[in-house]
Structure 1
Amino acid sequence: MTATLSTVRKSILPRGGDTWASIASRELPGTAESDAVSMLQSWNLHVFMRAAGAVGGVNGDNPILPSDVIFVEPPRA
């Protein structure tokens, strides 16, 4: 039996140096920045909950890597 995906959840690969705020402003225009950042973080717990110090971003506080898959829409029901 072969399973197929009928709908793919929209995602991006971040640009070098991207932050939650920069992704939010680019991908969720028209949404207040704090709301957009909160939405992105809740849709991307696999990135948001990663230990920041292990990544080596600016002062160890940017856990987003260019190789991370970032979902820019909520999970589908």
Structure 2
Amino acid sequence: MPAIELTKVRESTLPRPGDTWQSIAARCLPDLEEGEAVSKLQSWNLHVFMRASGAAGGVRGSNPILPSDVIFVEPPRAAA
């Protein structure tokens, strides 16, 4: 049986209860200034950032991050 090569995946994390972009940035990108880290996380996670926060019955502007979201903590990898 031939060996199967697994594709490298992007580093990611699952949110902890009450996590915000700022708390994830502080935990996963501690070497960056908060604003820059948050901006990077949001650009790498448009599937979460662009979600309408009111769609889940929340108040506009409430935290759109759900416990089941996969949050990427690095940019997409270049095609091999």
Give yes or no for TM over 0.5.
yes
CA RMSD of aligned residues (A): 1.8
Aligned-partner Cα distance in 2 for 1:70–1:15: 11
- Are the structure 2 counterparts of residues 10 and 62 from structure 1 closer, same or farther at C-alpha, using a change threshold of 3 Å? same
Cα deviations by residue, 1:3-39 (Å, 9 ceiling, x for unpaired): 8532111111100110000000000001000000000
Cα deviation, 1:45-69, whole Å, max 9, x if unaligned, reads 0000000112355765100011000
Corresponding position: 1:41 with 2:36: no
Equivalence for 1:70:
71
Which ranges of 4 or more aligned residues in structure 1 deviate by more than 4 Å?
56-60
Q: Normalising by structure 2, report the TM-score.
A: 0.83
User: What is residue 31 of structure 2 aligned with on the other side?
Assistant: 30
1:58–1:51 CA distance, 2 compared to 1 (3 A): closer
SS at match of 2:24: helix
Task: Could you tell me which runs of 5 or more consecutive residues in structure 2 were left unpaired when the two chains were aligned.
Answer: none
> Structure 1: which 5+ residue stretches go unaligned?
none
Identity %: 73
Larger Rg: 2
Paired residues of 1:54 and 1:60 also in contact (CA < 8 A): no
Q: How many residues align?
A: 75
* 3-state SS in 1 of match to 2:67: coil
